[in-house]
Amino acid sequence: MSVATAVYRQTCHVCDAVRLFVMRAFINMQRGRQLSANQRVIRQYMHIEYYGYKDPDLPYHLNRINDRTNEEYDKKLAELK
């Protein structure tokens, strides 16, 4: 019975390691897609002019959006542990 228990415990560790690897990869892919979407939104917004005025602070806003996105996904990655 102890051999079966030891094998079961090792199998669980392998399954957990694989699950963590897959989940991290999935979360990082989501992060990349969200950062790409943020950039596309800002690019589209840059082409819109309000009364002949373009906002020169759009790169700053993009950086803030990306920082919040990174914080959110870092938190998700930290919760996996």
**Residue 54: which residues within 8 A CB-CB, separation 6 or more?**
46
Identify the band that residue 35 occupies on the pLDDT scale cut at 50, 70 and 90: very high
What's the per-residue H, E or C state across 13-63? HHHHHHHHHHHHHHHHHHHHHHHHHHHHHHHHHHCCCECCECCCCHHHHHH
Q: Which domain holds residue 25?
A: 2-80
pTM for the model: 0.75
Match 């979407």 to its residue by tokens.
37
Residue 64: predicted pLDDT: 95
Domain count, the chain: 1
**In terms of pLDDT, which residue wins out, 12 or 11?**
12
Taking only the tens place, the pLDDT of each residue in 40-81 is: 998 887 776 666 667 778 888 899 999 999 999 999 999 987
